[in-house]
Amino acid sequence: MSSKLIAPSILAADFANLQRDIEMVNKSEADWFHIDIMDGVFVPNISFGMPVLQAISKHANKTIDVHLMIVDPDRYIKTFANLGSNILTVHYEACTHLHRTLQAIKAEGMQAGVALNPHTNINVLEDTINDIDLVCIMSVNPGFGGQSFIENTYSKVKQLKELITRKGASTKIEIDGGVTNKNAKQLVEAGADILVAGSFVFKSNKPLETITDLRTLANS
Ligand code: DX5
Ligand code: ZN
pLDDT in tens, 187-199: 999 999 999 999 9
Residue 4: band (very low, low, confident or very high) from pLDDT cuts 50, 70, 90: very high
pLDDT at 138: 99
Q: How confident is the model at residue 125 (pLDDT cuts 50, 70, 90)?
A: very high
Going by C-beta distance under 8 Å and a sequence separation of 6 or more, which residues neighbour residue 76? 68, 70
CB-based contact 113:90 (threshold 8 Å): yes
**53, 18 in Cβ contact below 8 A?**
no
Rounded percentage of the chain residues whose pLDDT exceeds 70: 100
Catalytic residue, from 21, 39, 65, 176: name it: 176
DSSP code for 179: -
Over residues 75-101, the pLDDT tens digits come to 999 999 999 999 999 999 999 999 999
pLDDT at 35: 98
Q: Is 8 in the pocket of ligand 1 (CB under 6 A)?
A: no
Cβ 111 vs Cβ 87: under 8 Å: yes
- pLDDT score at 13: 98
Give the integer Cα–Cα distance in Å for 92 and 164: 17
In whole angstroms, what is the distance from residue 217 CA to residue 193 CA? Answer: 13
Contact of 63 with 87, CB cutoff 8 Å: yes
Ligand 2 geometric centre to CA of 8 (Å): 10
Q: How far apart are CA 209 and CA 111, in angstroms?
A: 29
Would the CB of 67 count as within 6 Å of ligand 1?
yes
Cβ atoms within 10 Å, residue 142: 22
Residue 16: the pLDDT is: 98
Catalytic residue among 31, 36, 65, 193: 36
72 belongs to the catalytic site: no
- Pairwise CA distance, residues 172 & 170, whole Å: 7
Mean pLDDT for the chain overall: 98
Q: Report the share of the chain in percent with pLDDT over 90.
A: 99
Which CATH number describes the domain made up of 5-218? Answer: 3.20.20.70
What is the number of the ligand 1 atom nearest to the C-alpha of 138? 7
Check if 89 has its Cβ closer than 6 Å to any atom of ligand 1.
Answer: no
